[in-house]
């Protein structure tokens, strides 16, 4: 199943539900004098909750990797995030001067030519080649970016 990040709130609902259901079964077995099975369900409540968390997280990461790729770079005291949307061949560039707050300031189209991504807007032209951003502020600018891996 391809999980959209918007369903991540389900983690906060499903994991406790799985945990509680296993504990209810364990206590029911304990009351019916099946102590060895009861212990297994207590252990299962922990294992199932951890497993469910990691499966949800992995599904969301897989979904994000199919839809986008992103890079990060710093110029002075500003952190820039560049996101290339794979399905629609567009990009967006945002910046942050304070952690937790970012502002989008540039959106445009991208096209793959001759082993590099060409990023265009109505007034700018930039390129991505081997995790380097070329032409950010001036045509001769070359900035090393860090690719964000999910």
More confident residue, 142 or 11: 142
pLDDT bucket at 2, cuts 50 / 70 / 90: low
90-112 pLDDT per residue, tens: 999 999 998 888 999 999 999 99
Domain that holds residue 19: 5-67
Alpha-carbon gap, residue 143 to 150, rounded angstroms: 22
Alpha-carbon gap, residue 110 to 91, rounded angstroms: 6
Question: Could you tell me if 30 and 60 lie in one domain?
Answer: yes
68-80 pLDDT per residue, tens: 999 999 998 999 9
Q: Which of 16, 38, 67 is the last residue of a domain?
A: 67
Look at the chain and count its residues.
Answer: 150
Question: Could you tell me if 109 and 60 lie in one domain?
Answer: no
**Worst-scoring range by mean pLDDT, 8-12, 17-21, 86-90?**
8-12
pLDDT cut 90: percent of the chain above it: 53
Q: Mean of the pLDDT values across residues 81-88?
A: 95
Q: Which of 67, 87, 108 is the last residue of a domain?
A: 67
What H or E segment, with its residue span, contains residue 37? helix 35-67
Residue 150 has pLDDT above 80, yes or no: no
Alpha-carbon gap, residue 126 to 118, rounded angstroms: 6
Alpha-carbon gap, residue 4 to 14, rounded angstroms: 16
Alpha-carbon gap, residue 67 to 9, rounded angstroms: 20
Q: Which of 37, 67, 97 is the last residue of a domain?
A: 67
């Amino acid at each position: 199943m391809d999980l959209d990040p918007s369903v991540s709130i389900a983690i906060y609902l499903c994991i406790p539900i799985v945990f509680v259901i296993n504990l209810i079964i364990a206590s029911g077995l304990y009351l019916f004098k099946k102590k060895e099975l009861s212990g297994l369900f207590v252990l299962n409540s922990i294992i199932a909750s951890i497993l469910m968390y990691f499966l949800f997280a992995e599904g969301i990461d897989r979904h994000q990797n199919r839809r986008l790729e992103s890079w990060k770079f710093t110029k002075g005291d500003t952190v820039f995030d560049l996101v290339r949307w794979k399905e629609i061949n567009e990009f967006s560039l945002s910046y942050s001067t304070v952690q937790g707050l970012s502002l989008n300031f540039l959106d445009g189209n991208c096209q793959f030519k001759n082993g590099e991504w060409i990023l265009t807007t109505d007034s700018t032209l930039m390129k991505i080649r081997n995790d380097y951003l070329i032409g950010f502020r001036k045509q001769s600018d070359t900035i090393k970016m860090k690719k964000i891996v999910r």
